[in-house]
Amino acid sequence: MQRNNKSVQAPDKRAGDRLADPRPIVLIGMMGVGKSTIGRRLALRLGLPFVDADDEIEHAAGMTIPEIFARYGEAGFRDGERRVIARLMEEGQQVIATGGGAFMNEETRALILDRAIAIWLDADIDILVERVSRREGRPLLQGKDPRQVLTELAAIRTPVYALAPIKIRSGAGPHEQTVDRIMEVLGR
């Protein structure tokens, strides 16, 4: 693959089958794990487009995610999310950051596992709590204790996230370290 960005590393000579894999790379994991930030940086390093599913959902609905939740509830949001992710999966090789609950939908999960390289970004609850406190507009946290909500969500979601074939730990260090680990796993 040709790369125009000089800061992108050259392909590893030992690169495996994933080097030429045309499927999209889909990042899954809890809110606050860094899917969007890591996804942007990963896409840049790979020379691929990046898309944030939450941004696409807002664009398609013509309203913000909190507005969608307020008007249609979580079930309505999840239905729209499922449709948007299905569309994104058809758009070819790119890096897609999903919302934290997207992979919990059975149909979305099956599509991702069948047609994408699914990467579960995982982090300790302390890291997630610190990161989600930096940004507002997370409907599942509105008026609630973030640590309690994230702990409860992790208990439910972790076994489902574990179905992803690739798991990468996102630590407290710079996101570039996580991107480096993903590049290693992808053979780049």
- Specify binding-site residues: 32-37, 54, 78, 100, 138, 157
**Domain 19-185 -> CATH class:** alpha beta
- For residue 26, the cross-strand partners are 96, 118
User: Which pLDDT band holds residue 97 (cuts at 50, 70, 90)?
Assistant: very high
Find out whether 116 and 137 touch, Cβ atoms under 8 Å: no
Q: What is the pLDDT of residues 9-68, one digit of tens each?
A: 333 333 333 347 889 999 999 988 999 999 999 999 999 999 999 999 999 999 998 899
- Specify binding-site residues for substrate: 54, 78, 100, 157
The Cα-based distances of 89 to 28, 39, 111, 118 in angstroms read 14, 15, 8, 12
Quote the pLDDT of residue 80: 92
Quote the pLDDT of residue 139: 53
- Specify binding-site residues for Mg(2+): 36
The Cα-based distances of 19 to 12, 14, 16, 57, 90 in angstroms read 9, 10, 6, 29, 20
Q: CA nearest 56: which of 81, 78, 39, 31? A: 81
User: Distance between CA atoms of 186 and 188, rounded to whole angstroms?
Assistant: 6
Domain ranges (residues) in the chain: 19-185
- Specify binding-site residues for ATP: 32-37, 138
